[in-house]
Structures are given as structure tokens and as C-alpha cells.
């Protein structure tokens, strides 16, 4: 036992020190030679897209299919925890905290930008600047942030919640591989998996940090004389890093949960404002059209590639998003697992896959639809802004609506709070992953990871050409090795669910068998007792008749708590002469009483009495203590 604890402690230290060393070296590389870092990543990116683009497309669809299959199958009834465990958070707070894991920033940033960019930079086969391009742009925006976006998160979150709350394993990615590797997950193989997960998570979260900084800086430059530049973006990252420390101090229940609930209200207000500030009927029609097109074309969008034409569109858009989501799936998955104890698998899948998809339809059609309406009506060339300074697109759209300053400030606050909660969630998860799976990592670890993620995001913004391209490149590059981990996680959690479902069926079968045996035993006992009681009565009648006491009869009486005779012995009760208490039925026992037998509540008494004494006996029996 002690040796195992030492091994686990050494393993956690290895993951921490090795991951910190790798990330520090990466940050130093970006500081010393940002151009070389950018060129290297671009080379890696080109190789991955050419050779593994198909792999990302297929895998993202597999995750969605897997989620629906297990939710609709008998596996959906299994609970993420013990049978008596109940969810720790309300459904609304739970869904809100899903977005605290980073996707809230993505919705705000890409909700306007994606549809308007795709209006001009269309998927292959679509004519730019047409009504069809507008509809396809909205559809792909929802596609990139709907089911497929959450597919990888659901796999990691489900697997980790399963091993934590049903198998009592630590909150580590390596814990998911216990069915495949056994005790080897506690050794260096398991630590290697955890190290890979930490590196992948850091790259994915750094992408979120960078995008958040770009969005906030864009808003600040829109409202103030400050320029939308790298130094301002770095300053924003530093400020947010300090702000998240306050949230980290008070923990998940108070910090992230309260900020999330507040931001849900603020984001909802911003959504409602945009919806009613434009043509609401047009947006509602757009929602219906987008949802219908999404459902009708989801298979085609999921599996269509361009093998016979030269096109970079899939690599720069769909493949990027699938890789990005996979790269930060350890982070989001661990966080979702942490807040999902007590929910059934069916409820988990519904909350993680379906609810965000519905919200994506509403958000993207409201913000993207408004932007497209402004662009297509000629009111303002938002497409030019989106292709040059994508982070300013939201604010130029709000400029075309009433209350521009107020709505822009509200948008900056929403992004800022999402940034803080994302940083807090990321620091919490990375701290847990590098401390042996502790559900409450130390404050020092949270600070360490907050600083390292901020540093990673900063060097990505300044490397090469910087900006969104550098962030996208890092996410795609980091996701590839972890994608293979995700496939093995599918196999592992499926094995565990099959075993547990069989065990659960056997347990329920044993319970039903025991209940049936008990019912049959009780029925048999009641029938036997009734037969014996009737036989005993008949024999007593024959004896009385033989004694010449033909006028005797048997009285049956059951006592209650209030009966006056309860608590007295038979010798203490003033029965009329020639009264014979022949038997007392007490529970499942049949007693042959004597003068010292004490009467108890609920006793069923068999009393032999002469007919002329029956009334006097009944008066005594019916007498109460009141």
C-alpha cells in the first residue's frame, strides 16, 4: 500500500515537472524565435491536413454516433455514481457551467464571424455572395459548434465521470484505460498518457485564451483610442490572469458557478437585445431554415471532403474546429465529469450533446443572421471587416443597432467573464491532472497553470504572422496524438458499460428472485397456518361436544394499543367463570397461554366461552384505557 502511494506520488510529480518543462521550453522558443516557431507549426499543419484530414472528419462523426447509441440503449439507464447519488447542481447551473469550460467564448467570437466569413469564403461548390451562401454560412456555423463540437467532450467527460464515480479511480485521463491496461495505468505508461493529455489541453486552452484576448482587445479598440494590437492583447491576458485568481480562491461551487450564473443572464440579455433590435420575424424564419438545413445535411457535411479538387477550405475551417475541440477535450471532459456526478448516462448525453446544439442554432442564427442581413442589405460591409480584423466583426455589427455603446460594453463583459471562468476551469483541471487526480488541487498549482497557459497564448499570438492562424495551427498540431487516445477511450468505456450492465441485470435478477421467494414463502406460510388453525378449531369443537358442552362457542378477538387488558397477565383479568383462553396468535407464533401470559397489543385471542357468558366477556374485551 505504501509502495503504491509512493509510486503514485512520483508519477504525479513526473507529469507535473515534465509538462511544465515542455511548456516552458515552448514559451521560450516563442520568445527567442517567434518566426521559426510559426514556420515550424505551419509545416506540421500542412502535413497533418494532407494526411489526416479524413481521420478528423471520420472521428468527429464517430463520437456523435457513439453518444446517441449509448443514450438510446439500455446503457443510458446507468448512473454516473452510486444508485443513491443525486446531482450536485441544478440542470440550469450544470448547463451553464458547461459553457464556463470555454465554449461561451467561442459562441461570442464566432457567432457573428463564421456566418459572415462563409458568405464570401464559401465551402466548395457554393457561389459566394448569394442567398445560398448566407444559408450555408449559418448552417456551417451551427455545424462547427453543435453536435460534433461536443462529441469529443462527451466521450472524455462520460469516461472520466464513469471511472471516478463508479470505479473510484482518480480524476486522470489514464484512469479511463484501467479496463485495457489494468495496474499499468499506475505506472509510467499511464503517466505518459496523462502527460500527453496535459500538453494537448494546454494547447487547446491557450487557443481559447488567445481568441478571448483578441475579442476583448477588438472591443476596447472599437470603444477607445487604444489600438487593436499585440501589446494590448498581451496586456488583456495579464489582467484576466490576475482576475481569475480571485475566482480560483473560492472554488467551483462559489467561484465558477456564481460567475457562470451571472454570465448566463448577461449573455441572455445580449441575445434578447440583438433579437428584438432587428427583424425578429426574419431571424425566426432563419432559425427554422438553419435548423432544417442542419438536420437534412448533417451527414453530407460530416463526411464530404474534396479528394479531386484543390481546396484549403476544409482544413482552415471544419478540420480546424474538429482538431481544436479534440485538443481541449481533456480539459472540458474533466471539468464536465467533475460537475456531473449523480446523473444518468442518458441525461448526461442529452445535456452535453443536445442542449448546446439547440443553443448554437439560436445564438448563431440571431447574431450571424443579423450580420448577414446587414451585409446583404448594403447597410455596412461586415464581410470586409471579418476577413481583415475578425475580432471586430461583433462590434461593427452592434454599431448598426441602437444602444451601440451599452451593447458593446455588455459584449466585452460577457467575453471577459467567460475568459475568467475558462481560465479558472483550465487551471483547476490542469492542477488536478498534475496532482494525481485531486478533485481540489492546491491554489499554487492553479496559479502555476494559469501563468503557463497565459504564456503559451502570448507566444502563439506573437509567433509568425500571429493572430488566429497561429492559434489554429497549435490546436490542430496538438490534437493529432490525443485523437488516438480518444479512440481507446471509446473502447474502454464501452467495455466497462457492458460489464456493469450485465452485473446490474444480475443484481436486479437476484433481487427479484429473493422478493419472489419471500412472497411465495409468506403465501405458503399463510395457507398452512390457515389450514392448521381450521383443523385445530374443528378438533376443539369435537372435544367440547364429547364433554357435553354443546352451548360453548369460540370467540376471536384482536387487541389494540388502547385495549384495557393489554399489559395484564391472564390471571389479572377478571374474566367470568368457565372462560378458557385457548390460544394466542402473536405475529407468526401460536402461543398456548397460562395464567402468567401477558397480553400484548395486536394479539389475536381464541377464547372458549359459554353462550350465556358471551356478553360479559365482550364487555371486558372491548373496554379501553381511556
Question: Bigger pLDDT: 48 or 59?
Answer: 59
Give the model confidence (pLDDT) of 568-622 as tens digits: 888 888 888 778 888 888 877 778 888 888 999 888 888 878 778 888 888 888 8
Grid cell 510529480 in the structure block, residue:
13
Confidence at residue 542, expressed as pLDDT on a 0 to 100 scale: 63
Question: Bigger pLDDT: 57 or 12?
Answer: 57
Residue 621, C-beta contacts closer than 8 angstroms, at least 6 positions apart = 555, 557, 563, 565, 605, 607
Grid cell 467570437 in the structure block, residue:
109
DSSP H helices, 467-575, are 467-546
Tally of CA atoms within 13 A in the half-sphere of 212 that contains its CB: 34
Confidence at residue 370, expressed as pLDDT on a 0 to 100 scale: 94
Give the model confidence (pLDDT) of 123-165 as tens digits: 988 999 999 999 999 999 999 999 998 998 899 999 989 988 9
Residue 168, C-beta contacts closer than 8 angstroms, at least 6 positions apart = none
How far does Cα 158 stand from its chain's mean position? 7
Share of the chain above pLDDT 90, in %: 22
- pLDDT band of 1, cuts 50, 70, 90: very low
The torsion angles phi and psi of 172, rounded to 5 degrees, stand at -130, 150
Residue 279 gets which letter from DSSP? Answer: -
Whether the predicted pLDDT of 261 surpasses 80: no
Mean pLDDT score across all residues of the chain: 82
Domain 2-497 matches domain 551-622 at the CATH topology level: no
Confidence at residue 130, expressed as pLDDT on a 0 to 100 scale: 93
Whether the predicted pLDDT of 461 surpasses 60: yes
Coil/strand/helix, residue 230: helix
Nearest alpha-carbon partner for 164 in 433, 453, 539 = 433
| Cβ atoms of 368 and 117 closer than 8 Å | no
**Range with the lowest mean pLDDT among 81-85, 215-219, 388-392, 531-535?**
531-535
| Cβ atoms of 163 and 334 closer than 8 Å | no
CATH topology (fold) of 551-622: Alpha-Beta Plaits (3.30.70)
Nearest alpha-carbon partner for 275 in 370, 405, 356 = 370
Grid cell 490542430 in the structure block, residue:
476
| Cβ atoms of 411 and 219 closer than 8 Å | yes
Domain 2-497 has CATH 1.20.1740: yes
Cell numbers of 286, please?
Answer: 432563419
Grid cell 470586409 in the structure block, residue:
384
Residue 600 gets which letter from DSSP? Answer: -
Whether the predicted pLDDT of 468 surpasses 60: no
Q: Which long-range contacts (CB under 8 A, 24 or more apart) does 562-567 make?
A: 562/624, 562/625, 562/626, 563/599, 563/601, 563/621, 563/623, 563/624, 563/625, 564/620, 564/623, 564/624, 564/625, 565/599, 565/620, 565/621, 565/623, 566/599, 566/600, 566/601, 566/625, 567/598, 567/599, 567/600
Confidence at residue 587, expressed as pLDDT on a 0 to 100 scale: 79
Whether the predicted pLDDT of 369 surpasses 90: yes
Whether the predicted pLDDT of 416 surpasses 70: yes
Nearest alpha-carbon partner for 497 in 65, 62, 61, 69 = 69
Domain ranges across the chain = 2-497, 551-622
Give the model confidence (pLDDT) of 427-443 as tens digits: 778 888 888 877 778 88
Confidence at residue 294, expressed as pLDDT on a 0 to 100 scale: 95
Grid cell 468505456 in the structure block, residue:
493
Confidence at residue 410, expressed as pLDDT on a 0 to 100 scale: 93
Whether the predicted pLDDT of 6 surpasses 50: no
Question: Bigger pLDDT: 521 or 568?
Answer: 568
* Rounded average pLDDT over 99-106: 66
| Cβ atoms of 300 and 124 closer than 8 Å | no
CA distance 503 to 297: 40
* Rounded average pLDDT over 384-405: 90
* Rounded average pLDDT over 233-248: 79
Whether the predicted pLDDT of 3 surpasses 50: no
CA distance 495 to 504: 14
Give the model confidence (pLDDT) of 283-298 as tens digits: 999 999 999 999 999 9
Confidence at residue 271, expressed as pLDDT on a 0 to 100 scale: 93
CA distance 227 to 571: 105
Amino acid at each position: 500500500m505504501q509502495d503504491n502511494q509512493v509510486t503514485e506520488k512520483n508519477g504525479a510529480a513526473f507529469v507535473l515537472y515534465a509538462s511544465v518543462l515542455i511548456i516552458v521550453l515552448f514559451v521560450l522558443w516563442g520568445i527567442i524565435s517567434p518566426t521559426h516557431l510559426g514556420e515550424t507549426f505551419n509545416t506540421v499543419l500542412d502535413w497533418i491536413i494532407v494526411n489526416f484530414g479524413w481521420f478528423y472528419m471520420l472521428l468527429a462523426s464517430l463520437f456523435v454516433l457513439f453518444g446517441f447509441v449509448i443514450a438510446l440503449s439500455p446503457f443510458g439507464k446507468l448512473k454516473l455514481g452510486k444508485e443513491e447519488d443525486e446531482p450536485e447542481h441544478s440542470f440550469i447551473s450544470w448547463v451553464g457551467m458547461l459553457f464556463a469550460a470555454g465554449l461561451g467564448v467561442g459562441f461570442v467570437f464566432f457567432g457573428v464571424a463564421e456566418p459572415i466569413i462563409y458568405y464570401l469564403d464559401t465551402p466548395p461548390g457554393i457561389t459566394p455572395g448569394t442567398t445560398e451562401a448566407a444559408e450555408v454560412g449559418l448552417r456551417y456555423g451551427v455545424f462547427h459548434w453543435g453536435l460534433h463540437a461536443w462529441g469529443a467532450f462527451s466521450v472524455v467527460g462520460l469516461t472520466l465521470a464513469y471511472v471516478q464515480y463508479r470505479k473510484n479511480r482518480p480524476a486522470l485521463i489514464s484512469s479511463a484505460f484501467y479496463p485495457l491496461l489494468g495496474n499499468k495505468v499506475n505506472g509510467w505508461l499511464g503517466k505518459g498518457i496523462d502527460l500527453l493529455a496535459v500538453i494537448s489541453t494546454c494547447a487547446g486552452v491557450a487557443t481559447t485564451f488567445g481568441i478571448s484576448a483578441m475579442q476583448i482587445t477588438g472591443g476596447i479598440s472599437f470603444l477607445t483610442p487604444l489600438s487593436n494590437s499585440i501589446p494590448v492583447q498581451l496586456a488583456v491576458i495579464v489582467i484576466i490572469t490576475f482576475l481569475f485568481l480571485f475566482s480560483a480562491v473560492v472554488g467551483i461551487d462559489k467561484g465558477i458557478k456564481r460567475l457562470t450564473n451571472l454570465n448566463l443572464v448577461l449573455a441572455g440579455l445580449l441575445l434578447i437585445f440583438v433579437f428584438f433590435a432587428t427583424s425578429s420575424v426574419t431571424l425566426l424564419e432563419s432559425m427554422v431554415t438553419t435548423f432544417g438545413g442542419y438536420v437534412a445535411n448533417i451527414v453530407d457535411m460530416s463526411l464530404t471532403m474534396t479528394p479531386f479538387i484543390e481546396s484549403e477550405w476544409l482544413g482552415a475551417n471544419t478540420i480546424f474546429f474538429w482538431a481544436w475541440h479534440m485538443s481541449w477535450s481533456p480539459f472540458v471532459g474533466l471539468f464536465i465529469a467533475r460537475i456531473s456526478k449523480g446523473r444518468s448516462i442518458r441525461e448526461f448525453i442529452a445535456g452535453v450533446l443536445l442542449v448546446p446544439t439547440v443553443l448554437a442554432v439560436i445564438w448563431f442564427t440571431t447574431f450571424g443572421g443579423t450580420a448577414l442581413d446587414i451585409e446583404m442589405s448594403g447597410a455596412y460591409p461586415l464581410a470586409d471587416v471579418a476577413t481583415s480584423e475578425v475580432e471586430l466583426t461583433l462590434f461593427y455589427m452592434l454599431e448598426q443597432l441602437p444602444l451601440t455603446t451599452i451593447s458593446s460594453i455588455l459584449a466585452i463583459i460577457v467575453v471577459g467573464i467567460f475568459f475568467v471562468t475558462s481560465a479558472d476551469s483550465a487551471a483547476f483541471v490542469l492542477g488536478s491532472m498534475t496532482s494525481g487526480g485531486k478533485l481540489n488541487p492546491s491554489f499554487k498549482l492553479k496559479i502555476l497553470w494559469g501563468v503557463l497557459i497565459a504564456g503559451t497564448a502570448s507566444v502563439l499570438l506573437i509567433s509568425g504572422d500571429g493572430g488566429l492562424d497561429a492559434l489554429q495551427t497549435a490546436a490542430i498540431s496538438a490534437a493529432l496524438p490525443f485523437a488516438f487516445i480518444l479512440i481507446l477511450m471509446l473502447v474502454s468505456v464501452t467495455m466497462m458499460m457492458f460489464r456493469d450492465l450485465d452485473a446490474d441485470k444480475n443484481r436486479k435478477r437476484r433481487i427479484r428472485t429473493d422478493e419472489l421467494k419471500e412472497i411465495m414463502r409468506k403465501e405458503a406460510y399463510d395457507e398452512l397456518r390457515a389450514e392448521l388453525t381450521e383443523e385445530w378449531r374443528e378438533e376443539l369443537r369435537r372435544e367440547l361436544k364429547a364433554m357435553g358442552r354443546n352451548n360453548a362457542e369460540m370467540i376471536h378477538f384482536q387487541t389494540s394499543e388502547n385495549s384495557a387488558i393489554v399489559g395484564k397477565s391472564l390471571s389479572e383479568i377478571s374474566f367470568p367463570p368457565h372462560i378458557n383462553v385457548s390460544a394466542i396468535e402473536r405475529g407468526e407464533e401460536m402461543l398456548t397461554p397460562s395464567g402468567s401470559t401477558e397480553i400484548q397489543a395486536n394479539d389475536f385471542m381464541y377464547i372458549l366461552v359459554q353462550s350465556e357468558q358471551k356478553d360479559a366477556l365482550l364487555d371486558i374485551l372491548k373496554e379501553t384505557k381511556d
